[in-house]
C-alpha cells in the first residue's frame, strides 16, 4: 500500500483526509454535510478526499443509503501511514525554530498548541520521505525580553476595538516608570522584539513603545479614531527599523570594501537601494531612510570595512563614537 500513497497538493489536504479516516474508523458513520461544515470546504472537495481514500488507499468506503452516511465496511481498517514529502518535512521541521521570534509572548504557547493539534491528526506511524531531519537545521536567535501576557493581549484588543489605554512605561534610559495615555494604532515586530506605535496623549505626538517595558495596562472609557492622513511609513522605515523619526528622511551613501562587497551585493538592504561596483571591487550602497540611530549601529558593526560618504552628520557621529571608544580603552587601567 505504501507505493500507492501519492504526493498530496499540500499539508492541509493531508491533514484533512487523515481526520476523515479517524472519524470513519471502527465502523462509524459520517455524513457528508458534517464534514463540509467542519472543514469549511465544498462538497466537491470532500468527494475528492473520498475518492483518494478509495482509489489510492484502498479504503473500504461505501455509502449507506438508509443512514445517508459513509462508513468503512471493514471496521478494522485505518490508514497505516502518511508519507511526508521533502518539502512538507522541511516546512514542519523549521516551524518550531521560526517561532523563536514569538518567544516570550503568548503567541509562543499558541503556536505550540497548534502544532500539538496537528500532530494529533496524524496516525501513529509516519513515513518520512526525506534525506534530512530537524537536527540538520540550526537557527541562532537573538536574546529576547519577556512580554507580559496581559499586556500583549490587551494591546491587540485595544487596536481592534479602538479603545484608549493607559499604562506605566520605562524607557531604556530611565530607572522609573511614567504613566502614558495612548491610542494604539499598530503593532510592530523587529527581529523578535515587539512594539506598538500610536498617539501619546501627553505629548500629542506619534510614539513607539516596546511591549516588554509596559506594565499595568488598563482600558479607558474613551474610543479613538486613526487619522486618515496617518501613514506608518512616514514615521518608521519598514526596511531598517522602528525608530520614530517623522519626515527625517535622508540620503545615505555607504562605501564597502572589496572584502565585504559579496556580502553586501547578495542582500537586499532596502527596497529602493542602488549599488555601484567600482574597479577595485568596492561597492557603494545608496538608499533613503529616516532610521539614523539604527543605521549608525548597523554601520559600526562593519568596522573599517564601511565608510560613510553621506550624510556628513553621520560621518561626524561615527568619528565621535570612535573617538570616545579610543579614549575609553586608553583610560582603562586593566
Could you report the per-residue pLDDT of 123-136, keeping only the tens digit for each? Answer: 555 554 444 444 55
Cross-strand bridge partners of residue 197: 186, 208
Neighbours of 226 (CB within 10 A): 14
Over residues 230-255, the mean pLDDT reads 86
Residue 254 has pLDDT above 60, yes or no: yes
Name which of 93, 102, 107 is nearest 138 in CA terms.
93
Q: pTM for this one? A: 0.59
The stretch 294-299 carries a mean pLDDT of 92
Residues 164, 185 contacting (CB under 8 angstroms): no
Beta pairing, strands 205-210 & 214-223: unpaired
Lookup: cell for 273: 537601494
Q: Please, which residues bridge with residue 63 across strands?
A: 70
Q: Which residues contact 14 (CB under 8 A, 6 or more apart)?
A: 8, 82, 84, 88
For residue 279, the model assigns a pLDDT of 95
How is residue 60 written as a grid cell? 473500504
DSSP code at position 333: -
CB 192 within 8 A of CB 251: no
Number of H helices, E strands in the chain: 9, 13
Amino acid at each position: 500500500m505504501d507505493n500507492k500513497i501519492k504526493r498530496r497538493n499540500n499539508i492541509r489536504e493531508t491533514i484533512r483526509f487523515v481526520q476523515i479516516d479517524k472519524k470513519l474508523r471502527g465502523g462509524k458513520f459520517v455524513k457528508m454535510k458534517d464534514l463540509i461544515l467542519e472543514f469549511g470546504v465544498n462538497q466537491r472537495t470532500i468527494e475528492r478526499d473520498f475518492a483518494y481514500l478509495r482509489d489510492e488507499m484502498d479504503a473500504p468506503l461505501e455509502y449507506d443509503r438508509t443512514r445517508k452516511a459513509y462508513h468503512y465496511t471493514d471496521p478494522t481498517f485505518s490508514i497505516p501511514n502518511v508519507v511526508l514529502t521533502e518539502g512538507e518535512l522541511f516546512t514542519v521541521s523549521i516551524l518550531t525554530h521560526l517561532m523563536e521570534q514569538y518567544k516570550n509572548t503568548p503567541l509562543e504557547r499558541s503556536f505550540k498548541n497548534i502544532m500539538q493539534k496537528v500532530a494529533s491528526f496524524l496516525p501513529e506511524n509516519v513515513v518520512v520521505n526525506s534525506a534530512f531531519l530537524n537536527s540538520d537545521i540550526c537557527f541562532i536567535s537573538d536574546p529576547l525580553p519577556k512580554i507580559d501576557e496581559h499586556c500583549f493581549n490587551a494591546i491587540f484588543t485595544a487596536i481592534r476595538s479602538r479603545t484608549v489605554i493607559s499604562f506605566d512605561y520605562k524607557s531604556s534610559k530611565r530607572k522609573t516608570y511614567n504613566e502614558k495615555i495612548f491610542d494604539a494604532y499598530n503593532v510592530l515586530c523587529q527581529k523578535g522584539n515587539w512594539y506598538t506605535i500610536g498617539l501619546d496623549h501627553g505629548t500629542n505626538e506619534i510614539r513607539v513603545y516596546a511591549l516588554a517595558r509596559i506594565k499595568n495596562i488598563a482600558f479607558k472609557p474613551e474610543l479613538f479614531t486613526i487619522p486618515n492622513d496617518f501613514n506608518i511609513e512616514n514615521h518608521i522605515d519598514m526596511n531598517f527599523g522602528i525608530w520614530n523619526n517623522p519626515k527625517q528622511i535622508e540620503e545615505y551613501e555607504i562605501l564597502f570594501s572589496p572584502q565585504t562587497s559579496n556580502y553586501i551585493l547578495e542582500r537586499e538592504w532596502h527596497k529602493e537601494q542602488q549599488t555601484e561596483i567600482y574597479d577595485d571591487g568596492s561597492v557603494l550602497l545608496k538608499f533613503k531612510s529616516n532610521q539614523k540611530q539604527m543605521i549608525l549601529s548597523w554601520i559600526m558593526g562593519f568596522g573599517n570595512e564601511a565608510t560613510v560618504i553621506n550624510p556628513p552628520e553621520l560621518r561626524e557621529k561615527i568619528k565621535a563614537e570612535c573617538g570616545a571608544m579610543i579614549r575609553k580603552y586608553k583610560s582603562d587601567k586593566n
